[in-house]
Amino acid sequence: MGKKNHTKIIQITDLHLGKDKNKVSFDVNTFNSAKQMLLHIKKYEGDSDLIIISGDISDDGSDASYSNLTELVKPIEIPFYLMPGNHDSVEKIREFSRFDNLNSKLYFEEDPWFVFMFNTKKNGSPNGYLKNDEIKVFKDILNKNRNKYFMVFLHHHPVKIGSPSMDKMIIENAELLIDVIKKTKSVHGVSWGHVHNVYETRINNAQLFSTPSTCYQSKPKSETFIIDENERPGYRVIKLYDTGDLESEVIRLV
C-alpha cells in the first residue's frame, strides 16, 4: 500500500452543549444530537486524521458543559482540536484541552499544509473579530513558507452570507484575512461555523465554506434567524492533498 496522499479532517461545529445533558434548544437535545454525530463519525470516518470543533462547543461556558464534551469524545480515538465561538469560554477551552485527545492551538503543520484556527470571539459581543497578534503570526508563517498550502478555520464568517441577521455578526475586521487571500496564492481553504447552515464561495485560490451545526439548522438567506425544520445536522469532510488540492463535502445525518 502506498503512502497516503492527503490529510483527512472532519469539521464539526456549534454543539451548544449545556451544563445539563437534557438541555433542549429549538426542539433539539444538543447533547444527544452531538453524541449521535460523533458515533456516526467513529463508525464511518475512522480513517480521519483529526477532528476540528470550530466553536460554540458550549452554550453557557460552564465547566459542566465542557465535562459533557469530554464524555462525548472519550470513545473516539482521533485527536480533536478545539476552537472558541462567541458562546464559549476561551480559558475553559484551554483548561479542558489538557485532557486525553483534546488540543487547542493557533496552528499546526501537516506537511505540505499549515492549518490555522483563529480565535474570532469578541468579548461581550456575538460578532467576530480577528486578533492582530494571530494575524501577524499567520502572515509571518505564510511569508516564510511560500511553497506550502494554508487551510484556515474560524468560528465566525469572514464574508457576508446573504442573511441580514447573521451578517450583523460577521468578523468585523475580516478584510485582514480577505486581503491576504487576495494577495497570495497559498491559502486554499477557509471554513467556519456559527451560521448553522451551508454557504460556499471562492476568492482567488481559496474555497470558502461554512459547516452545518451538530444540532439545529437555520434557513439560509433569511431576514431573521429561522429554524430550518427540514434540514438535518451535518459535518464536513475536508481532504488536504499533497498536491495542494482541497476536496470537501458536507454529510448530513439521516
Give the residues lining the site for Fe ion (CB under 5 A).
56, 85-86, 194
Q: Which residues of 138-155 are buried (b: 16+ CB within 10 A; e: fewer)?
A: beebbeeeeeebbbbbbb
Contact between 222 and 184 (Cβ < 8 Å): no
In the complex with Fe ion, which residue's Cβ is closer, 86 or 248?
86
| Nearest residue to 15 via CA among 41, 33, 40 | 33
Who contacts 27 (Cβ-Cβ below 8 Å, separation ≥6)?
A: 216, 227
At closest approach, how far in Å is the CB of 10 from Fe ion? 19
Ranked by CB distance to Fe ion, the top (closest) residue is 194
> Can you tell me the distance from the alpha carbon of 118 to that of 89, in angstroms, rounded to the nearest whole number?
15
Q: Please state the φ and ψ torsions of residue 229, each to the nearest 5 degrees.
A: -65, -25
3-state secondary structure of 139: helix
